[in-house]
Structure 1
């Protein structure tokens, strides 16, 4: 991370945990890392609020079986005590309708510290 210190350590740990929970395919645990008022922009549409986002993510988990999701080339665009922006590349591999498929793209997340913990307030994924 370009900026060292405890905030940097917290943010790096957050991104690792976000990836871990994504790969666990447990929307309930993933949604704890998403702000109630978050917005997510995916290739298939935009979603406002944690309920709509959780529904979209759950549909993806059901569509792509045994998905493994990885992020790389993580770059912190902005870091402060309570707000951060990160961009990265993502790759996924899994089974769609019984056939092995994979994809890749770019992601940007805005994170805010609320009530002492980091949460995603916006995510934009594009292929």
Structure 2
């Protein structure tokens, strides 16, 4: 991870937990880390609010079987006690319609600390 020495450990742990929960493919556990008013921009569209985002992520989980999603080259653009922005590279591999597929791209995430806990407030993935 780039510049992790100057990034609070709780932010690094939050991103690791976010990644772990995404790879578990349990949308209910994953969404616990996403703010109700979040906005997510994916290659296939933009989603506003936790319900729309959860539905989009569940569709991805349903379409890509045995997916392994990894993030790397994290660079903390900004980190304070209550807001942070990180950019990174992502890669996924899994089975779509019985055929192994993979993809890669770039991501940017914004997190805010609300009521004492970090939540994802925006995610932008592009391929």
What TM-score do the two structures reach when normalised by structure 2? 0.96
Q: Alpha-carbon deviations, 1:2-37, whole Å to 9, x = none?
A: 524xxx100000011001000000000000000000
Uncovered stretches (5+) of structure 2, i.e. residues with no partner: none
Uncovered stretches (5+) of structure 1, i.e. residues with no partner: none
Q: Alpha-carbon deviations, 1:22-75, whole Å to 9, x = none?
A: 000000000000000000000000000000000000000000000000000000
Q: In angstroms, what is the RMSD of aligned CA positions?
A: 0.7
Distance in 2 between residues matched to 1:116 and 1:30, nearest whole Å: 18
Distance in 2 between residues matched to 1:117 and 1:59, nearest whole Å: 27
Runs of 4+ in 1 over 3 A off after TM superposition: none
Question: In the alignment, does 2:6 pair up with 1:3?
Answer: yes
Question: In the alignment, does 2:84 pair up with 1:84?
Answer: yes
Q: Counterpart of 1:59 in 2: which secondary structure?
A: helix
Corresponding residue number in structure 2 for 1:13: 13
Q: Counterpart of 1:81 in 2: which secondary structure?
A: coil
Distance in 1 between residues matched to 2:63 and 2:5, nearest whole Å: 36
Corresponding residue number in structure 1 for 2:57: 57
What TM-score do the two structures reach when normalised by structure 1? 0.96
